[in-house]
Homo-oligomer: A and B are copies of this chain.
Amino acid sequence: MTWVRVPEGSGFGLENLPYGVFSRPGELRRIGVRIGDHVLDMAGLALDGTLPEASWAARSSLNRYFGEGPEHWAHIRQRIVEFLTDDDYRPLVEPRLVPVADISLHLPVDVADYVDFYASEQHATNLGNILRPNTPPLLPNWKHLPVGYHGRAGTIVASGVDVARPNGQRKIGDFGPSERLDFEAELGFLVGAPSDGPVAVGDFAKHVFGVVLVNDWSARDIQAFEYQPLGPFLGKSFATSISPWVVPLDALGAARIEGPAQDPEPQPYLRTAQPSGLDIQIEIELNGHVVSRPPYSGMYWSPAQMLAHMTVNGAPARSGDLYASGTVSGPEKDQRGSLIELSWNGDEPLELPDGTTRAFLEDGDTVTIRAFAPGANNTTISLGEVTTTITPARP
């Protein structure tokens, strides 16, 4: 039990303790850990001498902390639990609790490389059926490796930052604002401890620090015209939004499950004996109305497999690398993770409670992605949210 008052159902109890980068008005950015409706000012604790080993906390990104590696992460987590449960620490620690209402949250990490996968069989199947009807929806490689590509790290933005509708070539001779702007609800994995080369599938937790929510904005018309043969480029690179709280893998132990069976059996470098799926429930809200609840539990390729694949060619992973799962879609219609799936490429527009319909996003629309997972001690932990409003295209 923590001595901090944690509101019922907050999702930010002692079992969670996610990391973020925050600031108070007029002050520099620093690292904090969320508990209930407060953030524990880690830089303050370091300064006070309460936690002198948190020399990484007076920084504007988590990269330095990430680089310290899993033993240090576990040590710090244990210390924070002591601080928040032992009444003897209360006089030292309570002055370093800041109400979340008083802070601004920022991008938690300087993203090094950004990779986006395509790991949901249901999503890949839906897209195949929509974009390439009358052919097998999954391409021949899909069940043999987690398909992915590199995105633009420099356009990853924090929750709360507006995203302008992108301009681009929509088809031959047709330039203008995208008319098919879409969201994609994904889970993102942040590399903490770097690797010089291949990361074995069983070493996932030695390298990945934790997870964020990702909204991989997509301009379907721009993407459709440009993507052959080298993949998505400007249809994705205008913005990718992530949630501010990085939930440590250490908080997701109770969420680990067997993933779906994989057939054919993957290559040895992708095989693992451990459960490597995650029982995370995502929720997508459009203008305040929940339009989908994609379950992460059904994802075909696990995050450990994605990391093993990404590095099997010898590519190093750096502190701050972000890789995302690709759109999370479940088998039911109200479990689809993108609007192109929910509206079936516009053929079945979504009806919203205000009487309007959406084939794709309109200016002024606000998209919020949230997620929850089982935590230790029969709790529920929150992954926070990533929320974004669409603004009109530049003239």
Contacts and interface: CB of A to CB of B under 8 A. Distances in A.
A153 B153 contact: yes
Interface size class for chain A?
Answer: 35 or more
Chain A residues touching B, majority SS: loop
Interface in A207-232: 219, 222, 225-232
A280 B3 CA distance: 69
A152 B168 CA distance: 24
Interface string A140-164: 1100110111111111000000001
A336 B231 CA distance: 24
A112 B231 CA distance: 20
Contacts of A237: 150, 310, 313, 315
Contact of A153 (B113, B233, B268): B113
Contacts of A89: none
Copies in the complex: 2
A129 B150 CA distance: 26
A31 B152 CA distance: 28
A336 to B, nearest CB: 19
A164 B313 CA distance: 9
A101 interface: no
A234 interface: yes
Contacts of A118: 230
Contacts of A226: 141, 145, 147
A125 interface: no
A262 B145 CA distance: 39
A158 to B, nearest CB: 15
Interface in A230-279: 230-234, 237-239, 264, 267-269
A139 interface: yes
A123 interface: no
27 contacts: A112-B153, A113-B153, A118-B230, A141-B226, A144-B172, A145-B169, A147-B229, A149-B230, A149-B232, A150-B150, A150-B151, A150-B237, A152-B315, A154-B316, A155-B315, A155-B316, A167-B198, A167-B313, A168-B312, A173-B264, A219-B313, A227-B229, A227-B230, A227-B231, A231-B232, A234-B315, A238-B313
